[in-house]
């Protein structure tokens, strides 16, 4: 059973953003209860443990996936791209919705287009979707539009524009900086990738069982992070006057570096950038000095040793180095000035945990700077196209 113990619930909050961060265990639980067949691991009663409510025709001949999105939804899409390619083996491309009409993907056959928007009303995303539908509408049957929407809001404009919809249940999000809606989108992308992987027979039975057990434990693991926020709050107090942040990661956590930078800059107005850790060495490392703080995601797994090697070079430039990681050995720990530990988790699912400390870090820094964390200047939940 998914964890619903009362001790993993926080009683009161100063701001909507903090309340919504603390609601994320329940959000993950709701997504899994909506899409995951909890009896499947015991009875194997169907070909997939996921039930998305999509017709059989949706899966026929699917050869490629294109995704259009903006902002935080684009970062969720980049994680989704990794899952769709690495689990399901389907070539997947992601593009900013605002750029898509001017620089569309090539017209490939048997291609699914996914539009991702939290509100279901993001004008740039709807515009990209309309463009894709129009340019494919008169083509051969194999190239006709196949459209899927992913949104946190049911009964939205997006739902009226697509053939099929996946709802990321996160209830209303008041804080402008997306937190629980982002995690909900991640879970839906993961279930979609897992469903496609099962139908395409891309996973062994043992590997599938491991991934299912891991995802069911996510609510409890998020709650463990939320039960230990004092260290993040203290670190934020130390960093409140820092003017430049760099967020680094490799592989599946690279989009989380982008999201961590976005959360910090949109709430606190501090300059922050996210980079792939290896690529950061090819030029941007020149900006590092003692005044720059680097926040690195270093998760055990396929890219862990490479990430540590990259961070050794970062550390040599004198920047303060903070790590989001699981408990590490003393040799690795010596590399970092500060550690924000998260529970052990399969590397494939790690983005759902690594983003939580970054949300909290942005929240506390913003609050300590005396800013309105729920209503950052110049931002709303749904933006019009330029």
Write out the DSSP string of 307-376. Answer: HHHHHHHHHTTT-EEEEEESS--HHHHTT-SEEEE-----GGGTHHHHHHHHHHHHHHHHHHTT--SSS-
Say if residues 340 and 357 touch (Cβ distance below 8 Å). Answer: yes
Say if residues 293 and 242 touch (Cβ distance below 8 Å). Answer: yes
Low-confidence stretches of the chain (pLDDT beneath 70): 1-11, 38, 41-46, 329-331, 381-386
106 token code pair? 């090539």
* pLDDT for residue 12: 75
Whole-structure pTM value: 0.93
Pinpoint the alpha helices (H) of 93-229: 123-136, 157-161, 180-199, 205-216, 218-226
The shares of helix, strand and coil residues in the chain, as percent rounded to the nearest 5, are: 45, 15, 40
CATH of span 228-368: 3.40.50.10490
Collapsing DSSP states into helix, strand and coil, what is residue 246?
strand
Say if residues 10 and 226 touch (Cβ distance below 8 Å). Answer: yes
98 token code pair? 């605002």
* pLDDT for residue 355: 98
* pLDDT for residue 10: 41
**Measured distance CA(159)–CA(161) in Å, rounded:** 5
* pLDDT for residue 48: 82
* pLDDT for residue 334: 86
* pLDDT for residue 43: 59
Collapsing DSSP states into helix, strand and coil, what is residue 67?
strand
Q: Where do the structural domains in the chain lie, given as residue ranges?
A: 6-221, 228-368
CATH of span 6-221: 3.40.50.10490
Q: Is 251 left (phi over 0), alpha (psi -120 to 50) or beta?
A: left
Strand order in the sheet with 320-325: 271-276, 244-249, 292-297, 320-325, 338-341
- Whether 228-368 and 6-221 are alike in CATH topology: the answer is yes
**Measured distance CA(179)–CA(266) in Å, rounded:** 12
What are the pLDDT digits (tens) for 160-208? 999 999 999 988 898 999 999 999 999 999 999 999 999 999 998 889 9
- Greatest alpha-carbon pair distance for the chain in Å reads 62
Say if residues 114 and 166 touch (Cβ distance below 8 Å). Answer: no
């Amino acid at each position: 059973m998914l964890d619903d113990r009362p001790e993993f619930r926080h009683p009161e909050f100063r701001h909507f953003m903090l309340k919504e961060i603390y609601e994320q265990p329940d959000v993950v639980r709701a997504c899994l209860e909506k899409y995951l067949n909890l009896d499947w691991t015991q009875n194997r009663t169907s070909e997939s443990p996921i039930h998305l409510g999509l017709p059989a025709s949706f899966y026929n001949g699917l050869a490629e996936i294109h995704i259009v999105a903006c902002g935080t939804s684009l970062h969720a899409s980049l994680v989704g791209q990794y899952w769709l390619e690495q689990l399901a083996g389907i070539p997947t491309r992601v593009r900013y919705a605002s750029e898509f009409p001017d620089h569309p993907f090539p017209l490939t056959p048997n291609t699914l287009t996914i539009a991702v928007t939290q509100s279901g009303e993001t004008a740039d995303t709807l515009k990209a979707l309309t463009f894709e539908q129009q340019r494919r509408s008169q083509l051969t049957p194999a190239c006709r539009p196949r459209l899927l929407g992913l949104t946190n809001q049911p009964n939205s404009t997006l739902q009226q524009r697509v053939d099929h919809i996946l709802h990321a249940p996160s209830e209303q999000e008041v804080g402008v900086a997306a937190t629980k809606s982002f995690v909900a989108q991640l879970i839906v992308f993961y279930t979609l990738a897992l469903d496609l992987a099962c139908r395409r027979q891309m996973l062994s039975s043992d590997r599938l069982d491991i991934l299912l057990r891991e995802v069911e434990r996510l609510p409890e693991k998020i709650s463990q992070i939320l039960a230990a926020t004092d260290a993040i709050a203290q670190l934020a107090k130390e960093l409140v006057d820092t003017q430049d942040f760099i967020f680094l990661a490799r592989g599946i956590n690279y989009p989380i570096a982008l999201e961590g930078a976005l959360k910090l800059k949109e709430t606190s107005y501090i300059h922050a950038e996210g980079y792939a850790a290896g690529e950061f060495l090819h030029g941007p490392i020149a900006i590092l000095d003692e005044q720059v703080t680097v926040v690195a995601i270093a998760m055990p797994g396929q890219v862990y040793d490479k990430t540590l090697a990259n961070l050794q070079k970062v550390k040599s430039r004198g920047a303060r180095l903070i790590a989001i990681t699981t408990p590490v050995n003393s040799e690795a720990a010596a590399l970092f000035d500060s550690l924000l530990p998260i529970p052990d988790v399969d590397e494939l699912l790690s983005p759902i945990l690594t983003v939580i400390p970054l949300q909290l870090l942005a929240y506390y820094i913003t609050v300590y700077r005396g800013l309105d964390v729920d209503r950052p200047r110049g931002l709303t939940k749904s933006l019009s196209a330029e």
